[in-house]
Amino acid sequence: MMMLSRRQFARSAAGAAMAGAVVGTSFWNPKRVAAASIDPVPIPGGSPALGGAYHVFGPTPDGSLDPIDAEPATITDFNGVAALAYINGTVTRTNTKTGEVLELPMMLSDMRLMHGLYRGVDAKLHQGAFALV
């Protein structure tokens, strides 16, 4: 086992740091680039039941919001899988300070998942997954 003096160790460490800095700067060449947005393009319009202000349609079996064949995806130029579920049930809320427990209804909670290729606002194709709860 080879023993190094403090001076030898300090020189070796300084040399290694200097070599790393020189080599590292040759690989790291920062350039100023414009950040490309990969946000998806939303679907045009929206549900008349919501005033058309939100880019979402609410297809329901009974047609109470939108027809059953309304678009479930919330982004346009999309090629992939879109899943939609309306969840009913109850949730339990517990106040951690008082210990009070409330059981509350959860009715028609709209949950969606989209996974696939989409055209972003930068006009390029991207792959991604999105969830809407």
H-helix or E-strand spanning residue 12:
helix 6-27
pLDDT higher than threshold 60 for residue 73: yes
- What is the predicted pLDDT for the residue at 26? 47
Domain boundaries of the chain, sorted by first residue:
1-30, 48-132
Instruction: Report the pLDDT averaged over residues 31-40.
Output: 60
Q: What's the confidence (pLDDT) of residue 36?
A: 47
Instruction: Tell me the CA distances in angstroms from 82 to 78, 79, 99, 132, one per residue in order.
Output: 9, 9, 40, 11
| Positive or negative: CA dihedral 16, 18, 20, 22 | negative
